[in-house]
Structure 1
Amino acid sequence: MTAPPAPRTPSRPHRQRPAGGLVSAYGLLALTALLFLTFSLVLPRTFPTLDTLDSLLFNQSIPAVLALAATVPVVTGAFDLSIGYGLGLAHVTVMQLIVNERWPWPWACLVVVAGGTAVGALNGVVVEFGRIDSFIATLGTGSMMYAVTGWITDGGRIVPGPHGLPAAFTDLYDSKFLGLPVPAFYVVALGVALWLVLERLPLGRYLYVVGSNPRAADLVGIPTRRYTVYGFTASGLIVGIAGVLLAAQQQIGNPSVGLDYLLPAFVGALLGSTAIRPGRPNALGTLVAVAVLAVGLTGIGQLGAAFWTIPLFYGGTLLVAVGLAGYDARRLRTGADAPRDAPAEPPPSGRDAGASDVPP
């Protein structure tokens, strides 16, 4: 006797995105265009030029990569404050292996990326299995990484010899492809890969469920600890890549340079959660946020603003990003963007998504 067929789940009716949802999703992208247009009108001789575009793509590639590294733990509801320290450790380790240990540069890069991955996994284990808040845990591991960085460099800088670094290594950052800086292609490739993983693969769906509703994740059988460790591991992998790029860019080992990238990375990750997919961290939103910051800082710099305007800009943007992210999350919980005649249903994503994010 055959079993009766399973009942078919009625498909959800197609609903057009309301105007408010369009503004929330693409407002940051429109702001980027508006800022670019404004600075182009105010600074017509210096801002809308190919030199400015090259400067944007060269100088903002590493902040963009590190912002993507910060995004992944945020998806799981955690924060990795060690990414700045990890960036500093990774880049001085590359320089140490190439300059002082005479390693071939491909092996040095592979070892550093693998080491960053291992450090990320260690962060996840400390947070989840040690039951330590992610702020405290990653701040502690970051401080230890900073100590290792000082031990490697002995408090000084690692300077290449008279022959410099291998040209193939520095070309990782200094070269161009199709007339554009190569680092821009790294950022696009990494952003697209991360978007595919988070938005199109079961792994990404599980990470979103763990971050939005750990209890629901436990109820449907998702091992929350394991997937949180996966998130930190991916973050460490990306930090290792950023460290290699920073070494190729700086061409000198500076033990304190990594901390300068910590605040921009989190501003980009948090502000990015208000774009494209408002209310949830996402890779494309992070890239849009980095573009807003890059255009704003470049325009401010060309206007001749004082040096202290940069931390003021980042700090104010961070407060705005956190406020907007909280507003988007509350709006998703209350369904403020849903049409009045739409049937009640849980939001497909966000802080209270629950088991609806789990793929069948």
Structure 2
Amino acid sequence: MSTDTTKPVVSPAARRSLKSSSGAVSTPLSVTLGRYSAIILWAGFTILFGILRPDTFLSSVTWRLTFSEGVVTAIVALAFLVPLAAGVYDLSVGATMGTGLVLMNWFGLNHPGLPPWQVAIGVLAFCALIGFCSAVVIVKFRVQSLIATLGVSQVLLAFQLFMANNRQLTGAFESSWLDLGNGQVLGIPVVALYLLVLAVLMWFVLEHTPVGRRLFAVGSNPEAARLAGLNVERLTYGSLMTSAVIGGFAGIVFSMKVGTYNSSVGPGLLFPALAAVFFGASQFARRPNVWGTLIAYFALAFGVKGLQLTFGPGTFWIQPLFQGAALLIAVALASRVVGQTRRSRQLQREAAADDAQAAGEATPPPR
């Protein structure tokens, strides 16, 4: 039984008809709307729950609380974003965040004379070592990143349980440290400003420096990047170490906000972070990007908050249901947008080739 694998033939006239007046292939309306679907979704949630619960959902307290609660998860999402740009999946970012948190609490309880900022520097260095170990497993031992980082996350969870003696750690910090995570600047939660500074820095590096362009080149086609002279292994090491440092920073920020360690904190943040990154990958640049990730995360966070305010605090099932559905839809949307983008680029290349061929035929041969 034979299978027809012949590719559909698109005539030169049809390909040229897809070109816009500027010479680029026209973008389908669905792709254009998909690029801004997170903003549309956020606006829809604001209108819907603003009508249903105007007294609570539209209050400044609710918005400040939602932003403040979501900062740590958003930082974890940005940590996952860095290696994803290089085509590597780091499923240990949640566990790395928990490791940073348990170390901050352990040193605060057992060595109260150490300033927390010194402990924080040590935590970031330790987390960088975690990222280095993950990269060794992936690069040197050729283990797929999903499996390697999933295994690392379990090792980190065991480390956390050992350090905490399988109990909750609390009372490790003075009020001056907690003030750094619970204060406000002009009515804006100070932790939101930490997130904003990190986001601007990451956006600049990824979008406007050679390092960012190299990371995306490796993520797009590792073999082509290697043939072009890029050190793929070094970029993989750097992306995973940066991811781990950002994950450790999330743990430090959580210690400022809450000051308590619990073994369920880190793994619980991984799933909403993944949903935000994959949803954000379909936004704006149609690849993993900082602003798409943040807007996607807070759009989903405000949706969850609106549902909780509408149906009451007893509906504990809302958050996992909403996040699970959001992840499925986000991955499907991102895959569809990427497929349409590749198809548009292919049509653009074919149309350009047709134009070049037509121009060659129209040019009279030299005498």
Category of TM-score, reference length = shorter chain: 0.7 to 0.9
Q: Any residues of structure 2 matched to 1:1-360 within 5 Å, and which?
A: 19-102=29-112, 103-160=114-171, 165-278=173-286, 280-304=287-311, 306-335=315-344, 343=352
Query: Residue by residue, what CA displacement relative to the aligned partner does 1:109-141 show, whole Å, maximum 9, x if unpaired?
Result: 111112112211221221111100111101111
The one-letter code sitting in structure 2 at the alignment partner of 1:322 is V
- Which one is further off, 24-33 or 128-137? 24-33
Structure 1 unmatched runs, 5+: 1-11, 346-360
Query: Residue by residue, what CA displacement relative to the aligned partner does 1:337-360 show, whole Å, maximum 9, x if unpaired?
Result: 978996369xxxxxxxxxxxxxxx
Mapped partners of 1:87, 1:115: distance in 2: 12
Aligned-pair distance for 1:304?
Answer: 2.0
Structure with greater helix share of residues: 2
Which of structures 1 and 2 has the bigger CA Rg? Answer: 2
Mapped partners of 2:285, 2:345: distance in 1: 15
Query: Residue by residue, what CA displacement relative to the aligned partner does 1:20-48 show, whole Å, maximum 9, x if unpaired?
Result: 54322222212211211111011111110
Mapped partners of 1:110, 1:79: distance in 2: 25
Counterparts in 2 of 1:338 and 1:171: CA distance versus 1, 3 Å? farther
Aligned-pair distance for 1:16?
Answer: 8.3
Preserved CA contact (<8 Å) 1:88 1:243: yes
Mapped partners of 1:187, 1:49: distance in 2: 22
Mapped partners of 1:323, 1:15: distance in 2: 23
Mapped partners of 2:352, 2:310: distance in 1: 52
Mapped partners of 2:288, 2:353: distance in 1: 24
TM-score by length of 2: 0.85
Matched residues, number? 330
- 3-state SS of the aligned residue for 2:273? helix
Preserved CA contact (<8 Å) 1:85 1:145: yes
Preserved CA contact (<8 Å) 1:69 1:235: yes
Question: What is the percentage of aligned positions where both structures have the same residue?
Answer: 32
Preserved CA contact (<8 Å) 1:127 1:137: yes
Preserved CA contact (<8 Å) 2:277 2:293: yes
After superposition, the CA RMSD in angstroms is 2.2
TM-score by length of 1: 0.87
Mapped partners of 1:132, 1:218: distance in 2: 19
Aligned-pair distance for 1:167?
Answer: 2.5
- 3-state SS of the aligned residue for 2:55? coil
Preserved CA contact (<8 Å) 2:34 2:333: no
Mapped partners of 1:173, 1:293: distance in 2: 23
The one-letter code sitting in structure 1 at the alignment partner of 2:49 is F
Mapped partners of 1:274, 1:253: distance in 2: 34
Mapped partners of 2:131, 2:52: distance in 1: 44
Mapped partners of 2:208, 2:27: distance in 1: 20
Mapped partners of 1:329, 1:287: distance in 2: 20
Preserved CA contact (<8 Å) 1:90 1:240: yes
Counterparts in 2 of 1:95 and 1:181: CA distance versus 1, 3 Å? same
Preserved CA contact (<8 Å) 1:21 1:337: no
Aligned-pair distance for 1:283?
Answer: 0.7
